[in-house]
Amino acid sequence: MNIKNDSRLETLIKASDLTINLAAICTPADYNTRPLDTIFSNFIDAIPVIKYCTENNKRLIHFSTCEVYGKTIGSFLPEEFRKDPKYYMLKEDVSPCIFGPVEKQRWSYACAKQMTDRLIYAEHAENGLKFTIVRPYNWIGPRMDFIPGVDGPCDGVPRVLACFSNNLLRGEPLKLVDGGRSQRTFLYIKDAIEAVLLMIDNPERANGQIFNVGNPDNEVSVKELAELMIQVYAKVAGVPSSSLSTLDVSSEEFYGKGYDDSDRRIPDMTIITRQLGWKPKTPLDKLLDDTLQYQHQTYSSAIKKVLSKPSN
Ligand code: UDP
């Protein structure tokens, strides 16, 4: 069901031991083009979920985002300071949340998510809500996102792995927004699911905690990600890697006005390791290999059909 305006919400929360709120718009292409839906789905629509959990004394696992940290302190400092982890490592109980100005609507998502985190925390502090907040760091893998024109709108812009998969399947250049300088750490979805299962199964270790869930060892720039995906996909699809390329595009051209970007996201893993003993397992090369094999098997014939249709 859609949690927005559905009268069954409270009855369902009352009947359950645990509510996991995954409802969100969490695709960057929407943040500056559908800012109202972004703010409502990530903040306003979550308010009744939190309220019913508190009132009925039910446990809540809420999905927040690593984007609440915004830009790193290092991004504002001269190059020589940026190598020091204290200027880029993102820690749940220490790091500030640094967003750009209001007209950069990219940050409406982070701001809405942060407000929800604060509301949950306040319900906990004042009314004893049993909560766990999850901050995913670029979870990727099979069956995440959509491929435009196949299982999503033709003009839709999914997250980077699906954008690049779509480009590779179509034999188009991979588009590097502002040169692909931003850095990300990628976590395999199967590792992430293990972390969430540990939270579900260990309420006494997970309640009252905010967890970064990511893989600090899988850091690449977006440009490096594109180059890696080209190498892996060439092997998977049996095509020469020289037939695949990248293309620099400006962020305004790609996402429109009001886009901005997080420069770097390295999760500090202290809290999740201490509380749940969880560590990510899958290195980036294996993750890309599994995911691109899945994308090729699942989508290549559908894409061929789309490409063979005459365009109007
Ligand atoms: N990006 C890109 N080309 C694309 C899609 C995304 O260069 O076709 C960049 C985007 O500008 C950002 C990074 O890839 O720097 C990750 O974007 P994503 O949409 O996956 O989510 P984010 O990590 O920003 O929330």
Ligand 1 probe mutation, 113, 155, 172, 177, most atoms within 8 A of CB: 177
Q: Look-up: residue for tokens 């060892």?
A: 217
Cα 244 to averaged position of ligand 1 atoms, centre (Å): 19
Question: Is 164 within a domain?
Answer: yes
Question: Is 289 within a domain?
Answer: yes
Under a CB-based contact definition with an 8 Å cutoff, are residues 266 and 88 in contact? yes
Under a CB-based contact definition with an 8 Å cutoff, are residues 135 and 64 in contact? yes
Question: Is 2 within a domain?
Answer: no
The three-state secondary structure class of 24 is: coil
Question: Is 1 within a domain?
Answer: no
Cβ 180 under 6 angstroms from ligand 1: yes
Domain with 239, as residue range(s), is 9-302
Number of domains in the chain: 1
Question: Is 129 within a domain?
Answer: yes
Beta strand pairing call for 219-221 and 183-185: antiparallel
Question: Is 3 within a domain?
Answer: no
pLDDT one-digit tens code per residue, 143-185: 999 999 999 999 999 999 999 999 999 999 999 999 999 999 9
Atom 17, ligand 1: residue with shortest CA distance? 160
Q: What is the mean pLDDT of the chain?
A: 96
**Burial class for 121, CB neighbours closer than 10 Å (0-12, 13-18, 19+):** middle
What b/e sequence results for 44-63 when a residue is b if at least 16 CB atoms lie within 10 Å of its CB, and e otherwise? ebbebbbbbbbeeebbbbbb
CATH of residue 263's domain is 3.40.50.720
Nearest to 134 by CA among 273, 261, 3, 21: 21
Q: Alpha-carbon distance 133 to 139, whole Å?
A: 16
pLDDT one-digit tens code per residue, 188-201: 999 999 999 999 99
Question: Is 219 within a domain?
Answer: yes
pLDDT along the chain (312 residues), means of 10: 90 97 96 97 97 98 98 96 94 97 97 98 98 98 94 95 97 97 98 98 98 98 98 97 97 96 98 98 98 97 89 63
Question: Is 309 within a domain?
Answer: no
Cα 260 to averaged position of ligand 1 atoms, centre (Å): 11
Tell me the helix, strand and coil percentages in the chain, rounded to 5.
50, 15, 35
Under a CB-based contact definition with an 8 Å cutoff, are residues 220 and 140 in contact? no
Under a CB-based contact definition with an 8 Å cutoff, are residues 71 and 98 in contact? yes
